Structure 1
């Protein structure tokens, strides 16, 4: 990426970019339904993911009043439990809070710490406030500031979510870099004028042929080197 010296703050997506969301949810489903085979676990994970995506889209389209991620995750857990025949309320509740216990990717913690020595680093997540707090503690993610989309009562890619980070950074959007493993997330950031960096992960939404992000990297160590030269 050219002109990295004018970047004043770096904003990271969290779910999928800094932590392995699908892997963590799959493990939680497996824990809740230990007798399920791999295909059944994948099917139950799809039930979860489709519910979350559908409800966030309904909120974005005005078809549902805002509900934070804790509410939607609990709904998803109940759907999974119903499909799996899981009736233990303790197990269902633990499944509902699985997003608080997602593990970081191997490079996330160290790269974040390295970058934070040179630039302000912010987390910007669709996870609700409570989930984000517990998740950051579990994964060992140390931010200068962690922001939840709940504060905007919307979900990315709604522009008001990215404006939370811009307001916090206190500098023009072209001096703020949004980092994500999801092309849809970066397109949302571009729409409010932010710079963008796509980081490859085993999960996520890869760029399409028409996407023109400022930087594409294979991992966060490469990103830190590009931004700091170290």
Structure 2
């Protein structure tokens, strides 16, 4: 695994959902509010929501469905949940459909981002639609130099064009752009286009496998900042 002095980083790119904000916890709380139910009843609904989102993103990637942004897919997921739960209140379903705009940041997200932003340009790169990302950044207090949505290239990660969107914005070689995520699959996608990678551990996320070789694996954004301080 390379050390910090092996890599000349110019720009840092962060995944947002799951990495900077607690997507799973936020959706769970929104579902509990919508259906007025406890954890046991909410977990199957959360699984249904995530299954729909992941399935539709795979269909889009395979060319079996035209691109639809995350707001459209979230609305579909909310309607499926409402049907399963017997939720007929249109206002409640509408609020549930926008749950991704109200996700809480992890404890180190704001301070860690500010610390790194004092030394590097920092970009957010997300599945979330531009409208969702705008409102989520405001809600969670995420202060980017620039926030990018896969909506701009009508694709979802790990499609290479999404990562190239960040590389183009950085205006420097891919090997000088660091992708930070809690999802190993996301970092593999970044590696495929030549970006450097850092896995940050979160309570939820996709852990690295034995064959993964990311540049860094850290427990927090503070640790990442400390590691990069010697670069």
Please, what TM-score do these two structures have when normalized by structure 1?
A: 0.98
Question: Which residues in structure 2 correspond to 1:1-230 (within 5 Å)?
Answer: 1-3=3-5, 6-34=8-36, 36-229=37-230
Paired residue secondary structure (2:77) = helix
Instruction: Tell me, in whole angstroms, the C-alpha distance in 1 between the residues paired with 2:161 and 2:126.
Output: 13
**Secondary structure, aligned partner of 2:4:** coil
Q: Please, what TM-score do these two structures have when normalized by structure 2?
A: 0.97
Deviation at 1:67, TM superposition (A): 0.2
> CA deviation digits over 1:84-120, x for unaligned, max 9?
0000000000000000000000000001001111000
Distance 1:4 1:165 in 2: 22
Residue ranges of structure 1 left out of the alignment (5+ in a row): none
Describe the SS at the equivalent of 2:124: strand
SS state at 2:156 partner? coil
Per the TM alignment, residue 39 of structure 1 is displaced from its structure 2 partner at its CA by: 1.4
The whole-number CA distance in structure 1 between the counterparts of 2:226 and 2:90 is: 47
RMSD, aligned α-carbons: 1.1
Q: Would you say how many aligned residue pairs link Structure 1 and Structure 2?
A: 229
CA–CA separation in structure 2 for the residues paired with 1:196 and 1:48:
29
CA contact (8 A) 2:174 2:194 kept: yes
CA distance in 1, matches of 2:113, 2:7: 18
**How much does 1:4 deviate?**
5.8
**Is this contact kept in 2: 1:12–1:123, CA < 8 A?**
yes
- Provide runs of 4+ in structure 1 moved above 2 Å: 1-5
By how many angstroms is 1:40 displaced? 1.1
What is the CA deviation profile of residues 170-229 of structure 1, one whole-angstrom value per residue up to 9, with x for unaligned ones?
000000000000000000000000000000000010000110000000111101111125
